[in-house]
Structure 1
């Protein structure tokens, strides 16, 4: 009996909440998954799951075995990773998940730079804005901004992302250029992603926070669509400074209300466990932090806020 394989199947069942979900994750049939679960229960002489109207739930014994099995599987993964690293610390595959704006502007260029130094480092890059469970989804490292939601694994805040308000000169030629935060209300706001509709912006001016109502005139499902909407004079938006900077430098974008501070976004690293960080993951994290240090509009954890810097 391959106990490790049975434990892996059991963990997938608990993570997915059903035998069929666990079977899909393991890429086996549901009857095969059911047989593996029966074998594991026979091995421990304990009932490990029970079925409810909310799916498959672990019994008290199942919860105990799940926690130990999850750690055992992570340690096993680390063991194989370290064996691989004996022939080259940065050799092997690294699965990354990153939000689209940060992925396009910061992570992708960094990835190609790392490949020059470590040609044996294979990187699988997933650019996705949805929430990711690093353990369930088989991700070595996720880089997220804003709300990371509930996720298994370890989260570590590494930076703060500054944002700003921008529009094209073409759009500003058609409207009244805002001088007060509430001058934004009648203008067309370009919203990124079709999630909860944006109905206001939080802006700080002279130490006072203003909640400014906005009118969404366009929803962009991709960062490049948002950029094209701006360049074509559709409206204005709030975006990360690191994303807007090159367009501000060329004059294609104009920053609005420069005396106002926009909301900041925290940036996090999320990984399965501190105890299972491979050398290749550590190499990437070290390089990412150094890259972020040089990017305008990104402040590493521990650096002063923009508001504090302005007050100093």
Structure 2
């Protein structure tokens, strides 16, 4: 059995919805293409398609196999193009995953810039704050904030953002400006709901360290919601510079304990540890690495 040909027949049957349409596209008769797909099912010992008189629909196993098979075919085509020196026009599909806040604040616009540069590439951007399994969910490139990284992927540190304490002038006018880290325990502290440290706040000033047990009545699992909450005057928060740089610039927020900082937030570009990485994925990773460092409040990492 010609496995690549069989995978191509199956993929196109799924995408076109009928065996006859896939057969016409590949200059085959419908019985011939049906025989090829049946041989693939027999080889895998799995039923891939549910057939009716008018349409074919992938089974659950077929849906999973379709995602993998499509990527194999795309990577094979790119490997052939690379061997022939035909990589000047990258094409194909990319699935990208990122945290909601960074996606809305910056990545969505950056992806459109990338698409303008590469008109034959398609991108599906999935924004959520959970850590996805790159292989299981077919993700080509993920952008992660923080150092909790999957063990079965390649991670490239693309930027770091300092974390500073900030609050709105209206809040500080009502509650006063803290003078020392210990003063923070008497203030309303707004924090990320899923913080591993909980209410414990770790700060440093040069080589001096301070640990403060904060208190607060409000927690939220989205950085942009924290940004809005702080600008409303609801409390003090420790925020990455990229989240609040513009609000600091126009005075909606001001630094609290400006000599003190929290741990830097690290930004990583992550991709599956495949032997062959598609040209379009390599281009996107480099593009995002370059653009991320241009984001105000994001700095070039001191180590690769």
Q: After the TM superposition, which residues 261-276 of structure 1 pair with which residues of structure 2 at under 5 Å, given as runs?
A: 261-276=261-276
Partner of 1:222: 222
Unaligned runs of 5+ in 2: 8-40, 47-67
Q: 1:185 to 1:277 in 2, by over 3 A?
A: same
Partner of 1:39: 45
Q: Following the alignment from structure 1 to structure 2, what is the Cα–Cα distance between the partners of residues 283 and 150?
A: 22
| Contact 1:133-1:152 within 8 A present in 2 as well | no
Shift of 1:73: 9.5
Partner of 1:130: 130
Partner of 1:213: 213
| Contact 1:198-1:214 within 8 A present in 2 as well | no
Q: Following the alignment from structure 1 to structure 2, what is the Cα–Cα distance between the partners of residues 38 and 275?
A: 23
Partner of 1:188: 188
Shift of 1:37: 10
Q: Following the alignment from structure 1 to structure 2, what is the Cα–Cα distance between the partners of residues 121 and 231?
A: 39
1:130-176 CA distances to partner (integer Å, 9 max, x unpaired)? 11211111100111011434343222323222211111111111112
Q: Following the alignment from structure 1 to structure 2, what is the Cα–Cα distance between the partners of residues 162 and 197?
A: 18
Q: Following the alignment from structure 2 to structure 1, what is the Cα–Cα distance between the partners of residues 133 and 243?
A: 26
Shift of 1:288: 1.3
Partner of 2:76: 79
Partner of 1:119: 119
Q: 1:152 to 1:72 in 2, by over 3 A?
A: farther
Aligned-residue Cα RMSD (Å) equals 3.1
Q: Following the alignment from structure 1 to structure 2, what is the Cα–Cα distance between the partners of residues 244 and 133?
A: 30
1:86-131 CA distances to partner (integer Å, 9 max, x unpaired)? 5863322211111123222331221121222223322111111111
Shift of 1:203: 0.8
| Contact 1:163-1:240 within 8 A present in 2 as well | yes
> Secondary structure of 1:283's match?
helix
Unaligned runs of 5+ in 1: 7-34, 41-70, 305-312
Give aligned pairs, total: 246
Q: Following the alignment from structure 2 to structure 1, what is the Cα–Cα distance between the partners of residues 42 and 270?
A: 31
> Secondary structure of 2:219's match?
strand
| Contact 1:77-1:276 within 8 A present in 2 as well | no
| Contact 1:135-1:152 within 8 A present in 2 as well | no
> Secondary structure of 1:257's match?
coil
1:4-45 CA distances to partner (integer Å, 9 max, x unpaired)? 899xxxxxxxxxxxxxxxxxxxxxxxxxxxx989938xxxxx
Q: 1:76 to 1:118 in 2, by over 3 A?
A: closer
TM-score (norm 2): 0.70
